[in-house]
Amino acid sequence: MRAVWQIIRAQYRHDKSFFLLGVLVSMIPAAAGLLLLGVSGWFITAAAVAGLSGSFLNIFAPSAIIRALAIARTGGRYGERVLTHDATFRFLSDLRNRIFSTMSANGQRGARSGKLLNRLTLDIAALDTLYLRLVVPGVVAAVLALSLAVWWSTITLPVLAVGSLFICAWLGVFAFSLSRADRKTARRADAALEAMRLRTTDLVAGRRDLAIYGGLDAAARTVLAAEERLQAAETLEDRRALKLGAASGLIGQLFLAASLAVVVWSALAGHFSAAFAVALVLVAMALPETIGLLVTGLNRLPRIALAAGRSRQLMPEDGPAGPKPMVSDVKSSAGPPAVALSFQDVGFRYPGAARDVLNHFGFQLANGEVLAITGRSGCGKSTVAALAARLIVPGRGRILLNGQDLETFPDANLRSRVSVLGQRPYLFNDTVAANLRIARPDADANWLWEALEKASLADRIRSAPLGLDTVMGEGGLGLSGGEQRRLALARAFLTRPDLFILDEMTEGLDAETAAAVLERFFAFRGEASVLMITHKQREAAHADRCLHLTENPSI
Amino acid sequence: MGVVNIGQPLAKERQCLRRAGWLAAASDLLWIPQAGLIAFALGVLLTSLHAVPEETFAIASVSGPALVCVTGLVLLAILRVVLQGLGADMARQAAQSLQSRARAQLLTAAAQASPAADFPSSGAFAAHVTEQVDHLGPYYRNFFPQVLRLKIVPLAIVLATAWFSWLAALILLVCGPLIPVFMALIGMKAKAASADQQEELTRLSGTLLDRIRGLETLELFGALDRTREDIAAAGERFRLGTMRVLRIAFLSSTVLELFSALGIAFCAVFVGFSLLGDLSIGAWGAPLGYAPGLFILLLAPEFFAPLRAYAAAYHDRAAGLAAQENLSRILKECRPGGSSPAREGDESAVTARKCPGLPAIEVKAATLLLGGQTVFKDFNLLIEPGETILLTGASSSGKTSLIDSLLGFHRLEQGEIRIGGVSPQQAGPDLLQTICWLGQAPRLFHGSLKANLLKGATRPETVTEADLWRALALAGATDLVARLPRGLATPVGEDGFGLSVGEIRRIALARAALRTDAAILLADEPTAALDEDTAADVIAGLAKLSRSRTTVIATHDPAVLSLPGRIIDLNTLEPALAGVRS
């Protein structure tokens, strides 16, 4: 529940004036609705009295008020909806940006489970409930109830007593529902839904495996078992929701009945006129609707709390995300130093791991040299690549690029000097051109074609009807594994780095494709030094020098 | 094939939903006597205060009826709440059973489709099973009962109003039907816009996830700041677009509000002027009394309430109908026309399988068409019991399709396949239970490593920890599992510990090795995309597994082809030897 408060506070801080304005404007239609019925009731009763007694009644003031209230209610509701929704969407859009920023800050990658990501967008979208269905109706109901209580206190004690009693009843029911918010069931429903999704994904993606190992029907049954759990939990939630709605509705109805009784009695006792009595009854009739608006939000709260908790994990702590330490005084290297990259006594351990991946590890890569680092999986090769690309920073020791400590490079500078070609190049679900321009935003079409040409992918892209504007991914250009690797190669060719890092670049490619990709790369690498991480002979054969890593190396 | 029926209520559920609508309507209709009681009590009060001169007499004559009215009001209130609850619960149950059925239908389709047939992507299918089916719920439980309520309640209220004043009834009748007209005009525009916007949101969410998944690439190219700006701009575009849609959508509910406020105001004014005596038409004969006037005023808001509820639930209807369409589309995709069902009803000859010893595999004059293309034609192959066949040939020469046919995943156009004398299609799951299989891209499932391995065993309860380690050793995976943080209990899957392609392959091989009683070994490109060390582990394991089994391994890896066995090249088949490919 704390996360809920934090999200609400975050929305308040995001734009205080919008937040408050939304609540304020929401008061107008709610108050106008109450008054409209009250004044109408008063008006017809006063008219009846005037009709009976033949006395004069000013009909213009009340009818003008009724007209004004009808307009205020209609217009106010429109303004309220537009304002509150706009405020919420502004906040959610800001939240998306902030979550992206947090995740892009150093050290946030890899630690995030796919599950969290898959639900991220759904969770964010669900957070609109907090302001729209809880904060706004909650504050409006509270303010109206308080104002009414003040008004009742100026009438008679019994009226005040009855009104306060029922407002307290509402408060009690809501507080009870809040304090007993069934988070366990919400979590169970959530887990069941997730299990259903995962098991269905497994069932469809692994149909061959399941047909032979375990059986498809059995797998379908496990999904349905999760479904059953989901329905059991949802039934509990729905029953609770029904109960809360019924309780709130019943309180409203009883309030009406009690108001009728106390008003008749007070009017008979001569405390106020019949017209006033009718106005009181009709206000009592209109109040439950305003208060009932809270019920939806309260019922959804346990689930929203889960979504808020998950989003909260991805949100930055309050205050701006700490910028990466940056030192901008990079000496402009007049002549290239002899050593492009050197690791000096580097040690590294992954958080939570029992032992170091690298320990007292060092090597030097001369300018223009091609160095291969080989070894079995798990020996720390990829850690070397990640360290050299500054995706992680060493626990001990120093890494020098062009003779200067890697950590002192400003990000932009470093990224223009080092290019990485990995085994799983990520291609974005965007156009071919956009995918290439990630490497160089100012590249014109000629450059892009030239890079594609070098990667021998130009013909393939040219054959697509939309050319560079073809969208990658589903329904668009389906590139094979080798073609994807070549697109990544074209992307790398758009940069002019001092150092290329190849991290298992031809992993998963068959021999022929791998040879083509490698040949293309070495034909166009230019003067740059190359650090190759590989366990394949075909790659290592291109190296000037080979470094074989055993487990826990100390070279 | 026509329209696939999914997400539709059965007759029984339809009846439940209708009953739920009746209950909701009945609860609404009880407001009429309630309003009557209130109007009566206040009417008596007014008369006693202003028409009867002696007040002492009034108190007794008023408090009695007032007490009766209040009691009646309370009883009716309880009845209303109960009816409402019953109706909502009934609708909920009907919607739940409907949703369950839709999910079962989808999953049955997934389980029965041939594993080799084209199938919607797992992500899309899972989204249909979860979210799309979820959309059906609100449609049936919220919207459906509203339709009946909308048909009954306003009419009843107009009739009750007309009993006292035809003019007030006329006011309601004029204001009421105008609402749908205006709302439809505005709503149509909003609907098109909101469909676009829904797509835009999906796209925005997709972009955000896509960029987060590719964060490392973005960082490596120093593109983080640029991307951040792109995402912010896309978010802002989406917000502006959504607000544009909502402004129209809210306009339609504002029209509803306006007419309902106007209706109430007209009624109040009409009643007020009638009571003042300025207006003498509208009632039947005698002028309108106070209590009937108040009664009319109290009823007016309830005339509009079902309309508002209907409009509020209209969104659920749109989502539900769209979901229904999507579901029947995906269900159709699950059973593409003309594809082979995985199993056939013919139960004969299943017992023949139980013969002792290793089975022979016979492929006689087999012809397979896939998507109109001939994969192989008049193909003949006899595999002796216990023999190892190494199937080779360029990619798309039909290696995988042949193995799929042996598994019974494809139906032959002509000819037949017999494994131990039984056709694989007839044997169905019984045959699959006796096969060790290692696929091209084996998949592990969410759960512990141990649970994944045990899927291989025919009788998991008899497998000991030692058996598991023996199987892992055979697959060269002992070190790999020992290195995992929680050993055999390590959770596998998207959420769990990430395994590399080679590691998954070795675990899958261990899973196959646990099927100790299998008589057949089938492997499809077992070393694809593996490094040499891992490939060596896998090949050694396969060599051991193939020793006591009738074996078919499809591969183009020279290292696998060096295993002892008969090599059959699908590209250069000698017609006399094995078969003919067209």
Looking up residue B476, the CATH number of its domain turns out to be 3.40.50.300
The answer to whether the CB of A109 falls within 8 A of the CB of B216 is: yes
Evaluate whether residue B29 is within a structural domain: yes
Bridge partner list, B266: none
Other beta carbons within 10 Å of B487? 12
Point out the residue among B99, B224, B432 whose CB comes nearest to the CB of A104.
B224
Mean pLDDT by 10 residues, chain B (582 residues): 73 93 95 95 86 58 86 95 95 94 94 84 84 90 90 93 92 79 65 66 76 81 85 86 82 82 85 82 79 92 87 80 88 64 43 62 88 82 91 77 89 88 83 87 85 88 90 88 83 65 85 90 84 82 90 89 89 49 35
Does the beta-carbon distance from A47 to B273 stay under 8 Å? Answer: yes
- Is the same domain home to B139 and B191? yes
Does the beta-carbon distance from A73 to B261 stay under 8 Å? Answer: yes
**Which of the pair, A150 or A392, is modelled with greater confidence?**
A150
Round to whole Å and give the CA distance between A30 and A25.
9
Q: What is the pLDDT of residue A113?
A: 52
Does the beta-carbon distance from B293 to A264 stay under 8 Å? Answer: no
Q: Which two tokens stand for residue A96?
A: 């998306």
Nearest CA in chain B to A269: B59
Does the beta-carbon distance from B122 to A250 stay under 8 Å? Answer: no
Q: Which two tokens stand for residue A2?
A: 């704390």
- Is the same domain home to B311 and B373? no
Does the beta-carbon distance from A204 to B455 stay under 8 Å? Answer: no
Evaluate whether residue B544 is within a structural domain: yes
Q: What is the pLDDT of residue B227?
A: 86
Round to whole Å and give the CA distance between B109 and B328.
12
Q: What is the pLDDT of residue B187?
A: 64
Q: What is the pLDDT of residue B52?
A: 54
Tracing tokens 């580097």 back to the chain, one arrives at A346
Q: What is the pLDDT of residue B31?
A: 95
Point out the residue among B45, B239, B272 whose CB comes nearest to the CB of A267.
B45
Q: Distance, in angstroms, between A537 CA and closest chain B CA?
A: 9
Q: What is the pLDDT of residue A112?
A: 47
Q: Distance, in angstroms, between A43 CA and closest chain B CA?
A: 7
Backbone torsions φ then ψ of A324, nearest 5 degrees: -65, 145
Does the beta-carbon distance from A256 to B73 stay under 8 Å? Answer: yes
Residues listed for chain A: 555
**Position A463 pLDDT exceeds 90:** no
The arithmetic mean of pLDDT across residues A343-354, rounded, is 80
In the DSSP assignment, the letter for residue B458 is S
- Is the same domain home to B160 and B255? yes
Backbone torsions φ then ψ of A519, nearest 5 degrees: -60, -45
- Is the same domain home to B319 and B379? no
Q: Which two tokens stand for residue B445?
A: 């499932």
Nearest CA in chain A to B224: A104
Bridge partner list, A361: A346
Evaluate whether residue B448 is within a structural domain: yes
In angstroms, the Cα distances linking B520 to A76, A553, B361, B474 are 75, 44, 9, 17
Does the beta-carbon distance from B70 to A117 stay under 8 Å? Answer: no
Nearest CA in chain B to A536: B531
Evaluate whether residue B99 is within a structural domain: yes
Partners of A495 on chain B (C-beta within 8 Å) are 221
Q: Distance, in angstroms, between B440 CA and closest chain A CA?
A: 10
The answer to whether the CB of B190 falls within 8 A of the CB of B245 is: yes
Point out the residue among A67, A100, A211 whose CB comes nearest to the CB of B228.
A100
Q: What is the pLDDT of residue A148?
A: 95
Does the beta-carbon distance from B58 to A45 stay under 8 Å? Answer: no
Nearest CA in chain B to A271: B49
Strands A339-348 and A358-366: antiparallel
In angstroms, the Cα distances linking A422 to A372, A484, B295, B311 are 14, 11, 78, 54
Nearest CA in chain A to B95: A231
Q: Worst-scoring range by mean pLDDT, A470-484, A520-534, B148-162?
A: A470-484
Does the beta-carbon distance from B38 to A103 stay under 8 Å? Answer: no
- Is the same domain home to B263 and B368? no
The answer to whether the CB of A474 falls within 8 A of the CB of B202 is: no
Q: Which helix (DSSP H) or strand (DSSP E) does residue A363 occupy?
A: strand A358-366
Partners of B217 on chain A (C-beta within 8 Å) are 425-426, 428, 438
Per-residue pLDDT tens over the stretch A58-93: 878 888 888 899 889 899 999 999 999 999 999 988
Point out the residue among A47, A258, A265 whose CB comes nearest to the CB of B272.
A47
Does the beta-carbon distance from A93 to B41 stay under 8 Å? Answer: no
Prediction pTM value: 0.81
Q: What is the pLDDT of residue A83?
A: 93
Does the beta-carbon distance from A93 to B251 stay under 8 Å? Answer: no
CATH value at residue B327: 1.20.1560.10
Per-residue pLDDT tens over the stretch B183-230: 666 666 666 666 666 677 777 777 777 787 788 888 888 888 888 888
Q: In terms of Cα–Cα distance, which of B341, B388, B342 is closest to B361? A: B388
- Residue A377: pLDDT band with limits 50, 70, 90: low
Partners of B130 on chain A (C-beta within 8 Å) are 193, 196-197, 200
Evaluate whether residue B411 is within a structural domain: yes
Q: Which residue segment(s) compose the domain that B229 sits in? A: 11-336
Round to whole Å and give the CA distance between B218 and A103.
12
Q: Distance, in angstroms, between A533 CA and closest chain B CA?
A: 13
Point out the residue among A70, A125, A242 whose CB comes nearest to the CB of B88.
A242
Q: Distance, in angstroms, between A85 CA and closest chain B CA?
A: 8
Does the beta-carbon distance from A207 to B277 stay under 8 Å? Answer: no
Does the beta-carbon distance from B446 to A199 stay under 8 Å? Answer: yes
- Is the same domain home to B378 and B237? no
- Is the same domain home to B321 and B429? no
- Is the same domain home to B79 and B197? yes
Round to whole Å and give the CA distance between A40 and A35.
8
- Is the same domain home to B193 and B113? yes
- Is the same domain home to B271 and B314? yes
3-state secondary structure at position B544:
helix
Per-residue pLDDT tens over the stretch A404-457: 888 888 888 888 888 888 777 788 878 889 889 988 888 889 999 988 988 888
The answer to whether the CB of A342 falls within 8 A of the CB of A364 is: yes
Partners of B49 on chain A (C-beta within 8 Å) are 267-268, 273-274
**Which of the pair, A263 or B318, is modelled with greater confidence?**
A263
Point out the residue among A200, A211, A246 whose CB comes nearest to the CB of B125.
A200
Q: What is the pLDDT of residue B13?
A: 93
Evaluate whether residue B579 is within a structural domain: no
Nearest CA in chain B to A124: B205
Q: What is the pLDDT of residue B198?
A: 67
- Is the same domain home to B89 and B234? yes
The answer to whether the CB of A372 falls within 8 A of the CB of A546 is: yes
The arithmetic mean of pLDDT across residues A144-170, rounded, is 94
Read off the amino acid at residue A22.
G
Q: What is the pLDDT of residue A325?
A: 42
Tracing tokens 């131990």 back to the chain, one arrives at B420
Evaluate whether residue B353 is within a structural domain: no
Round to whole Å and give the CA distance between B350 and B423.
9
A-B C-beta contacts closer than 8 Å: 378
DSSP B209-273: HHHHHTHHHHHHTT-HHHHHHHHHHHHHHHHHHHHHHHHHHHHHHHHHHHHHHHHHHHHHHHHHH
Does the beta-carbon distance from A278 to B269 stay under 8 Å? Answer: no
Tracing tokens 């051991």 back to the chain, one arrives at B544
- Is the same domain home to B141 and B194? yes
Evaluate whether residue B354 is within a structural domain: no
In angstroms, the Cα distances linking A415 to A220, A350, A506, B476 are 48, 24, 22, 40
Does the beta-carbon distance from B243 to A85 stay under 8 Å? Answer: yes
In the DSSP assignment, the letter for residue A155 is T
ipTM attached to this prediction: 0.85
Answer positive or negative: Cα dihedral of A478, A484, A489, A492.
positive
Partners of A242 on chain B (C-beta within 8 Å) are 85, 88-89
The number of folded domains in chain B is: 2
**Which of the pair, B150 or A108, is modelled with greater confidence?**
B150
